Amino acid sequence: MSTADVTEQRPSTLRSASLPKWSPWAIAAGSIVVAVGIGAGAGLDSKVQWGLIAALLFIFGTFAVAAKVEGKRQAKDRVVTALVWVAFLLALIPLVSLIWTTVKRGVKVLDPYFLTHSMGIVSDSEPGGGIYHAIIGSLEQVGLATAIGAPVGVLTAVYLVEYGRGGLAKAVTFFVDVMTGIPSIVAGLFILSLMLMFDMQPFGFAGSLALAILMMPVVVRSTEEMLKLVPNELREASLALGVPKWRTILKVVLPTSIGGITTGIMLAIARIAGETAPILLLVWGNSFINNNPFSGAQQALPLYIYQQYANSSGSTAAYDRAWAASLTLIAFVMILNLVARGIARWKAPKTGR
Amino acid sequence: MDISTKTTDASPPTPAAVGKHGAARTKSRPGDRVFLGLSRGSGILLLVIMAAIAVFLTYRASLAISKDHGNFLTTFEWNTNLIPPTFGIAVLAFGTVVSSVIAMALAVPVAVAIALFLTHYAPRRLSGPVAYVIDLLAAVPSIVYGLWGALILVPHMNGLFGWLNHYFGWTGIFSWDGGAPRSMLTVGILLAIMILPIITNVSREVFRQVPQMHEEAALALGATRWEVIRMAVLPFGRSGVISASMLGLGRALGETMAVATVLSPDFDIHASLLNPGGGTFAQNIASKFGEATQDGRDALIASGLILFVITLLVNGAARAIIARRKEYSGANA
Amino acid sequence: MAKRIDVSGLTAYYGSHKAIEDISMTVEPRSVTAFIGPSGCGKSTFLRTLNRMHEVTPGGRVEGKVLLDDEDLYGAGVDPVSVRREVGMVFQRPNPFPTMSIFDNVAAGLRLNGNYKKSQLNDIVEKSLKGANLWNEVKDRLNKPGSGLSGGQQQRLCIARAIAVEPKVLLMDEPCSALDPISTLAIEDLIGELKERFTIVIVTHNMQQAARVSDRTAFFNLSAVGQPGRLIEIDDTERIFSNPSVQATEDYISGRFG
């Protein structure tokens, strides 16, 4: 059979019936119109339900149309595309709502007064008061936790990468993995059991210890990754010059990876700054300003949010304060994240020529 | 080559130091010993902390359990102020598992879909910023999810609950008596929303690492986009997605505040996921802690120990899967 | 069933960068055409435009015509997926699907295209593996993973996978560059056999290989780094290697540059 014959018998093997480029949009628009019709007709008051109906119509509509025109394989492909888009848009709803609500409700009472005053004697259901005491508490607790957790984490990573061989290093690696998975409330319970042992009252530093435990494995992991990126040639170059190992680490290895290490530490800070459970168990919360983290109950931003929500029995003023504190906390965490990424990009080892 | 210049710059002090350390050179250098000591000490400190967590929690738990009048594993009660105290973790274990299972069932498929969307479907102008935002959402503190869940999500659940009750109420699982929708299902949904960014992020990384050549192999066989994903992307990413899910599961199991704000707890196991009630380990600790006496705290610590063990098992499983994947990809290199 | 390829005025871009410019040539059915030229001259890019794999690369686009027996691959309404069914490809590095067995790798393309009975699949897989001279080496371990084979065997597995779907044209992008000399020889022998059934286009860095396996040879070059690659000449292999009509070709072949 000559090739010419084939071409004549089957005019085209490359071309198959296919839907025009705009068809997904058309099906989507059609689904929305029909869903609005059904929703309005059946008197469904939730717009979310309208959306779900539209999504279902879109998926089934896509399959029906594509299967009819293009065949089963293409239809499957199009349905998956539709599913993936729908999943994305669906997931966007709660996440956008979360950010939107926090910003919208948060700005209501968020002003300089709110940031610079404590709750003091303002009762939970009254308007007024602020989060100054919580900010102070959070900064002190997180600061102390970082002062403990970051050096221990970095040094452990140095040990694992630069010295670590044998059983001890393996054990540490394994338990760092295990430690990463500790729920924050368990870390809190551990410190609590120590405090019960010595019959101690709650104070800020106890919270710091729990936060430090949560922070260490995160710092170890990220620092380890960064140290592994430092090329061995650099270490050898330095050692070959007669520089002792510890100075090689301090002067060559750590400076090379300092950007990545800082980023890792900042991301870890962002994570522990939002922890509520250990603070609830160990620091208790306080309406007044307590500048001393080593004595007496303190407040912290996440715990403040929880208490404004939980202890206020539905007072709008308390909810407003909870949202404003949430916005402050998110802003703090986001800024840390953004700065950390900035540092990572700025200090990134230049690769390629 | 900027760095090697730095190295040479750093070297001038060393010749001077050689004289000073000349004697020490044959022995071990004090600086080296101090530095090694510090870093090894940090590693050992981590091990000590882990051991201490296990020892102290077990010790306090044993104090509590020895006083427990009920059966620690099966009693449906948490009355630590009774004399003798009576408490058991059955309800908490059930609630923790149920809420986490709901969260996983909802979050994993959606997260995988979004990860695929970002790596294989979305236009590049969209996928970059979206990936970035999802990254940031993974860092939003859980208390904020809790506040949003309690004040925004819960009121929006009424419609869904009514619908579920109307059509599936006969199953018992979805029957609803019309109370506030502060139930296990709401908790599961909130947890799903919370762990979604985490699972999405890790899965996205895994999908991005699928070697281009495997995708091209499928394309060259005349595969559609979905067939490329099924043949090359999903098999390659499977173990990565599983370990991402385990990571999310670990978060869901240990989550305290998001559950404590949304759930209206009681100490019973209910067939219906829609009616309020039940509890989880972490939530129970947070809500009972305030009024707990010394014995009560020990009892809570005992329940925390169980949570600790459960999360260890989940994490261990995740590590095992990742380790297997490493061997596997090594064989292919 | 082999088909002829007619390329006219083909230009390919990566974003705004022009990778190859204004290429026209004819590839005869049931023959082996080799593409040679210095690195970066665009011969692999050109190869990938012949089954629309070029546009898989972000920013990749093409102007011009590629006719497969009088039908333009880039014509309106042409489905790239169908194009790749007709024009198969073997890559530089062997890329069997790592999670699939040897059997499943060969059957992968068939399973996409509808329902084959188990016995039909068995027959086609056996035929394809025999066609790729691999059958005797793997017939006892068809259910073992394809990644357990040696590099040369993996590459022949990839060839078996490509020919199992009976394409009209087989593109090979430096198929031997990752292989040792003995495996290379096995693949070259195989190419000689496959040209009875397929139109074969092979990109190679190895001029001896081009001289050994191909009927016709096309020489690509670029005037300077950053400039688009161009087709310098295409002729019978014998002629290209003995008496090329362009000086640049002779310089390249005799090793005076490149």
Q: State pLDDT tens for residues A58-77.
A: 988 888 888 888 888 888 89
Check pLDDT > 50 for residue A353: no
**Chain B residues within an 8 Å CB radius of A94:** 153, 193
Check pLDDT > 50 for residue A39: yes
B185-213 per-position pLDDT tens digit = 999 999 999 999 999 999 999 999 888 88
Instruction: State the pLDDT confidence band at B326, using cuts at 50, 70 and 90.
Output: low
Angstroms from A155 CA to nearest CA on chain B: 5
Would you mind telling me the total number of residues written for chain C in this entry? 258
Write the residue in A151, A187, A241 that is nearest to B7 by C-beta: A241
Q: Cβ contact (<8 Å) for B117 and A84?
A: yes
In chain A, domain spans: 17-105, 132-347
Q: Cβ contact (<8 Å) for B146 and A306?
A: yes
Q: Cβ contact (<8 Å) for A271 and B139?
A: yes
Q: Average the pLDDT over B63-70 and give the result.
A: 90
A263-284 per-position pLDDT tens digit = 999 999 999 999 999 999 999 8
Q: Cβ contact (<8 Å) for B250 and A181?
A: yes
**What percent of chain B has a predicted confidence (pLDDT) above 70?**
89
Angstroms from C167 CA to nearest CA on chain B: 9
Q: Cβ contact (<8 Å) for A7 and C70?
A: yes
Q: Average the pLDDT over B252-281 and give the result.
A: 93
**Chain A residues within an 8 Å CB radius of C29:** 3
Angstroms from A78 CA to nearest CA on chain C: 14
Q: Cβ contact (<8 Å) for A181 and B41?
A: no
Q: Give the mean pLDDT of chain A.
A: 88
Q: What is the 3-state secondary structure (H, E, C) of chain A?
A: CCHHHHHHHCCCCCECCCCCCCHHHHHHHHHHHHHHHHHHHHCCCCHHHHHHHHHHHHHHHHHHHHHHHHCHHHHHHHHHHHHHHHHHHHHHHHHHHHHHHHHHHHCCCCCHHHHHCCCCCCCCCCCCCCCHHHHHHHHHHHHHHHHHHHHHHHHHHHHHHHHCCHHHHHHHHHHHHHHHCCCHHHHHHHHHHHHHHCCCCCCHHHHHHHHHHHHHHHHHHHHHHHHHHCCHHHHHHHHHCCCCHHHHHHHHHHHHHHHHHHHHHHHHHHHHHCCCHHHHHHCECCCCCCCCCCCCCECCHHHHHHHHHHCCCCCHHHHHHHHHHHHHHHHHHHHHHHHHHHHHHHHCCCCCC
Check pLDDT > 90 for residue B303: yes
C166-187 per-position pLDDT tens digit = 899 999 999 998 889 988 999 9
Angstroms from C257 CA to nearest CA on chain B: 31
Pairwise pLDDT comparison (B332 vs B99), residue with the higher score: B99
Q: Cβ contact (<8 Å) for B236 and C56?
A: no
Pairwise pLDDT comparison (A10 vs A336), residue with the higher score: A336
Q: Residue C33: phi, psi to the nearest 5?
A: -110, 125
Q: Cβ contact (<8 Å) for C86 and A16?
A: no
**What percent of chain C has a predicted confidence (pLDDT) above 90?**
63
pLDDT, position C40: 85
C23: closest CA among C36, C39, C6?
C6
Give ipTM to 2 decimals.
Answer: 0.90
pLDDT, position C211: 92
Q: Cβ contact (<8 Å) for A14 and C112?
A: no
**What percent of chain B has a predicted confidence (pLDDT) above 90?**
55
Nearest CA in chain B to A191: B53
pLDDT, position C257: 62
Mutate to test the interface with C, among B216, B221, B225, B241 (most CBs of C within 10 A): B221
Write the residue in A13, A16, A73 that is nearest to C86 by C-beta: A13
CA-CA distance, A248 to A254, in Å (whole number)?
9
Nearest CA in chain C to A13: C82
Angstroms from A9 CA to nearest CA on chain C: 13
**CATH architecture of the domain with range A132-347:** Orthogonal Bundle (1.10)
Check pLDDT > 80 for residue A247: yes
Angstrom distances, CA of residue B180 to CA of B60, B95, B154: 37, 18, 8
Q: Average the pLDDT over C4-31 and give the result.
A: 92
Nearest CA in chain A to B150: A309
Nearest CA in chain B to A257: B3
Question: Does C56 contact chain A (CB < 8 Å)?
Answer: no
Q: Cβ contact (<8 Å) for A182 and B40?
A: no
Worst-scoring range by mean pLDDT, A199-213, B27-41, C131-145? Answer: B27-41
Predicted structure pTM score? 0.88
CA-CA distance, B308 to C136, in Å (whole number)?
55
Write the residue in C2, C4, C79 that is nearest to A14 by C-beta: C79
Tell me: cis bond preceding B84? Omega within 30 of 0 counts: yes
State the chains in contact with C (3 or more Cβ–Cβ pairs under 8 Å): A, B
Check pLDDT > 70 for residue B333: no
Half-sphere exposure of B97 (CA within 13 A, CB side): 9
Nearest CA in chain C to A72: C114
Q: Cβ contact (<8 Å) for A14 and C71?
A: yes
Pairwise pLDDT comparison (A166 vs B47), residue with the higher score: B47
Write the residue in B32, B136, B319 that is nearest to A244 by C-beta: B32
CB B76 within 8 A of CB B268: yes
Q: Average the pLDDT over C231-254 and give the result.
A: 91
Q: What angle do CA A67, A71, A73 make, to 5 degrees?
A: 100
**Chain A residues within an 8 Å CB radius of C2:** 3
Angstroms from B302 CA to nearest CA on chain A: 9
Q: Cβ contact (<8 Å) for B32 and A102?
A: no
Question: Does A95 contact chain C (CB < 8 Å)?
Answer: no
Q: Cβ contact (<8 Å) for C53 and B220?
A: yes
Chain B residues within 8 angstroms (CB to CB) of chain C: 124, 211, 213-224, 227, 231-232, 235-236, 238, 328, 331-332
C-beta atoms surrounding A12 within 10 Å? 12
Check pLDDT > 80 for residue A48: no
pLDDT, position A1: 39
Q: Give the mean pLDDT of chain C.
A: 90
Question: Does C65 contact chain B (CB < 8 Å)?
Answer: no
CA-CA distance, C202 to C174, in Å (whole number)?
7
Check pLDDT > 80 for residue C113: no
The CATH code belonging to domain C5-95+168-253 is 3.40.50.300
Q: What angle do CA B305, B309, B313 make, to 5 degrees?
A: 170
- The Cα diameter of chain C in Å comes to 57
Q: What is the dihedral of CA C90, C91, C94, C100, to 10 degrees?
A: -60
| A232-240 vs B2-10: helix crossing angle, rounded to 10 | 30
Check pLDDT > 70 for residue A349: no
CA-CA distance, A311 to A331, in Å (whole number)?
24
Q: Cβ contact (<8 Å) for B152 and A97?
A: yes
What is the DSSP code (8-state) at residue B264? Answer: -
Top mean-pLDDT range of A33-47, B124-138, B193-207 = B193-207
CB A267 within 8 A of CB A333: no
Q: Cβ contact (<8 Å) for C51 and B235?
A: no
pLDDT, position A164: 80
CB pairs under 8 A between A and C: 39
Q: What angle do CA C8, C10, C12 make, to 5 degrees?
A: 170
B204-239 per-position pLDDT tens digit = 999 998 888 899 999 999 899 999 999 999 988 888
Nearest CA in chain A to B300: A189
Please tell me whether residue C75 adopts helix, strand or coil conformation. Answer: coil
Please tell me whether residue C23 adopts helix, strand or coil conformation. Answer: strand
**Chain A residues within an 8 Å CB radius of C1:** 1, 3, 6
Bridge partners for C26 per DSSP: C6
- Could you write out the DSSP letters of every residue in B162-216? HHHHHHHGGGSTT---S--S-BHHHHHHHHHHHHHHHHHHHHHHHHHTS-HHHHH
Q: Average the pLDDT over B268-273 and give the result.
A: 91
pLDDT, position A350: 54
Nearest CA in chain B to C51: B220
Nearest CA in chain C to B223: C81
**Encoded tokens for A170:** 């393996």
pLDDT, position C232: 92
Q: Average the pLDDT over A222-245 and give the result.
A: 89
Check pLDDT > 70 for residue B26: no
Question: Does C28 contact chain A (CB < 8 Å)?
Answer: no
Q: Cβ contact (<8 Å) for A15 and C73?
A: no
Which residues 6+ apart lie within 8 Å of C65 measured at CB?
A: C6, C7, C8, C9, C10, C72, C74
Q: Give the mean pLDDT of chain B.
A: 86
Question: Does A7 contact chain C (CB < 8 Å)?
Answer: yes
| CATH superfamily of domain region B86-332 | MetI-like (1.10.3720.10)
Nearest CA in chain B to C166: B221
State the chains in contact with B (3 or more Cβ–Cβ pairs under 8 Å): A, C
Check pLDDT > 90 for residue A292: yes
Q: Which amino acid, residue A224?
A: E
CA-CA distance, C238 to C32, in Å (whole number)?
13
Q: Cβ contact (<8 Å) for B151 and A181?
A: no
Angstroms from C7 CA to nearest CA on chain B: 20
